[in-house]
Chain A
Amino acid sequence: MYGNDFSDASDEPAGGLIDQVEAAEAALRAAATQARPGAGVDLSEASESDLDYYFTAVIEADQKIEPRDWMPDSYRKTLIRQIAQHAHSEIIGMQPEGNWISRAPSLKRKAILLAKVQDEAGHGLYLYAAAETLGISRDELVDMLLEGRQKYSSIFNYPTLTWADVGAIGWLVDGAAIVNQVPLCRCSYGPYARAMIRVCKEESFHQRQGYEILHTLSHGTPDQQAMAQDAVDRWWYPSLAMFGPPDTDSTHSAQSMAWKIKRFSNDELRQRFVDMCVQQAGFLGLRLPDPDLRWNEQRQAHDYTQPDYAELMRVIKGDGPCNRQRIDHRRRAHTDGAWVRAAATAYAAKRAARTLEPAQ
């Protein structure tokens, strides 16, 4: 109910990003009406190099690779890893915000937060469904998450200590996610691009809600203002780190760019995010905790202090403040729910058997 209820793009704290999502959606529709390279060619006997030729041609023409198309094994694996990590992040990301549902300070905020956490579970489901088109099951992916063989976003290993953190997550974390995800609306793999279009529309609404929470706090009592500033102080660098290691250290970038899975480098997106946030922090009346943050006339962009990448690596490797707690919680929900899932399976089998009986 909240997911699609956003007004025109000029009101959005995310500014023109929503326009870009809509442009990507239009491009996707237009691409579907054009003939694809290799369309009508019988590829049943084609050699691997012919298949690779058509695969590359489709990507170069900005057409979409679809589940039944031939694709290089490493393209498939890269996408599975990336989409699964994205899906896991939505599911783990329910926890830090879910932590405040019971204590939300007004009934309206409680309702908005409940709807947001519900949307996140929905995003997790779309993304698992997109990953499943690549030939892996959701159960396998969930097992990999629970066994620590696949990652989720480092940001969700930080604790939500005050109500203002819910606002900071909406503004900064969802803001960073949107900056990261809007280009994915043009990703070369069709099911992922389509999932991202849907996800980005809802995320931009969540970002606006987070911005509103912080705006109310920063214009509230002195205690509320301090709470808002403290939250921004704690979430700023972890949000910058969400874009991943600097370009010089990024292992997957070059190939993902060539495949049009990634469209911009980590550092380009991080810069875009910083520039967006500086302006909004001004409207909020909150300070970004970086004494060296300033406009660089020559670059037409803000200079800023890089996040602590050693900390990022520690968190990714499992030693952030909440890694153990988040994964323990997920495992417990999975284990405690096993008997319920077993009952549903057993009941479905009994029902199927009963439906068959009269026919026999």
Chain B
Amino acid sequence: MSVSVEHLLRLGDDALVAAQRLGEWAAAAPEMEEDIALANIALDQLGAARLLLSYAGEREGAGRDEDALAYLRDDRQYRNCLLVELPNGDFAVTMAKLLFLAAYQLPLYTALSRCGDERLAAIGDKARKESAYHLDHASLWTVRLGDGTDESHHRMQAAIDQVWPYTHELCAADPEAPVDPSSLRPAFMATVDAVLTEATLVRPADGWAPSGGRSGVHTEHLSYLLAEMQVLHRAHPGARW
């Protein structure tokens, strides 16, 4: 099965917007070691985004490269899930977002590494190794914060409660995708449940399940994120950097 431009954009935009948010932590993390770790994860996400967007541009065949796709699409044309565009909040919110994203990306990239599209399989194979590291990092912090002090426990639980509704979009069924996200749900739930249990945290009840990112209907946050990301590139049309 040959993968569509639309699906490549979904994968690439998730990684790009996640990288943009993680990059906001530079020089602001709770420890110097964490400055390094968050920049490292941002770099991994950015690396995956570049591979995926470049491939999307080639598949589209309209002469758009990774930069044209990143810098010259508006928010209504972005295809990332809502989870990754949510603001960083405090460190617990950032870790909750990273935990859910990595628990989804790890089985996703693992499955993609075996998909019939050779180029996408190679990208998946590279990215799954990085996702395993991201998941490990977010899990360790979720457990440290959940089972740390009273304050950190409350903050971590509040972060999980706040972000949880956005996880439903990750695994929404899409039978036409190279890997149907709904098939990832059991692995995602098993990972998340194990981490939350160890962290003495409670998984919130399912209910409200915001979505729309995959069709370009985003939260109010994305337009600001893109305005900042794209400002310089758009101010100099056609320039090389």
- State the CA gap A329–B35 with chains docked (Å): 14
Nearest-CB distance from A160 to chain B (Å)? Answer: 12
| Given A105-B236, A344-B144, 12 further pairs, Cβ under 8 A | A94-B35, A98-B26, A107-B50, A114-B26, A118-B40, A125-B33, A220-B239, A223-B236, A338-B30, A340-B34, A342-B152, A347-B148
Interface size bracket, A side: 35 or more
Contact partners of A163 in chain B: CB under 8 A: 232, 241
| Chain A residue nearest in CB terms to B144 | A347
Q: Are B152 and A339 touching (Cβ within 8 A)?
A: yes
Of the A-B pairs whose beta carbons lie under 8 Å apart in the complex, a sample of 16, sorted by A's number, is: A91-B27, A102-B229, A103-B232, A110-B46, A114-B43, A117-B27, A118-B35, A118-B36, A121-B39, A220-B241, A221-B239, A223-B239, A224-B239, A337-B31, A347-B144, A347-B147
Determine the distance from Cα of A345 to Cα of B71 in the docked complex, in whole angstroms. 42
Nearest Cβ on chain A to B24's Cβ, whole angstroms: 6
- Are B239 and A341 closer than 8 Å at their CB atoms? no
Question: Which residue of B is nearest A227, CB measured?
Answer: B236
Q: Which residues of B contact A338 (CB under 8 A)?
A: 30
CA distance A223 to B240 in the complex (A): 12
Contact with A along B130-143 (1 / 0, CB 8 A): 00000000000001
The residues of B that contact A213 with a CB separation of less than 8 Å are 241
Instruction: Judge if B62 is at the interface, Cβ distance under 8 Å.
Output: no
A103 touches B240 (CB 8 A): no
Nearest B residue to A334 via CB reads: B30
Kindly list chain B residues whose C-beta atoms are within 8 Å of the C-beta of A115: 39, 43
Contact surface of A with B, Cβ cutoff 8 Å = 1, 91, 94-95, 98, 101-111, 114-115, 117-118, 121-122, 124-125, 163, 213, 216-217, 220-221, 223-224, 329, 332-333, 336-347, 350
Note all chain A residues with C-beta closer than 8 A to B19.
110
Residues in B neighbouring A117, C-beta threshold 8 A: 26-27, 39
Determine how close the nearest CB of chain A comes to the CB of B179; give it in whole angstroms: 24
Interface residues on B, range: 35 or more
- Report the tally of A-B residue pairs with Cβ distances under 8 A: 142
Interface secondary structure of A, over-half rule = helix
CA of A217 to CA of B147, assembled, Å: 51
What residues on A are CB-neighbors of B66 within 8 Å?
107
List B1-42 residues whose CB lies under 8 Å from chain A. Answer: 16, 19-20, 23-24, 26-36, 39-40, 42
Do B50 and A105 touch across chains, with their CB atoms under 8 A apart? no
Q: Which residues of chain B in 49-88 are interfacial with respect to chain A, using CB atoms and an 8 Å cutoff?
A: 49-50, 53, 66-67, 70-71
Q: How far is the CB of A108 from chain B (nearest CB, A)?
A: 8
Across the interface, A125 reaches (CB within 8 A) one of B24, B32, B39, namely B32
**B233 part of interface (Cβ distance < 8 Å):** yes
* Min C-beta distance of A9 to chain B, whole Å: 27
Residue in A closest to B33 when the chains form the complex, CB atoms:
A125
Q: Are A103 and B229 in contact (CB under 8 A)?
A: yes
A343–B149 Cα distance when bound, in Å, is: 5
Query: A106 near B42 (CB under 8 angstroms)?
Result: no
Shortest CB distance B228–A (Å): 5
Q: Indicate if the CB atoms of A340 and B50 lie closer than 8 Å.
A: no
Most chain B beta carbons < 10 A, residue from A111, A121, A163: A121
Q: Looking at the assembled complex, report how far the CB atom of A279 sits from the nearest CB atom of chain B, in whole angstroms.
A: 25
CA distance A337 to B144 in the complex (A): 14
Query: Contact at A124–B233, with CB atoms within 8 Å?
Result: no
Which B residues lie within 8 Å of A337 (CB)?
A: 29-31, 34, 91
- The reply to whether the CB of B205 lies closer than 8 angstroms to some CB of chain A is no
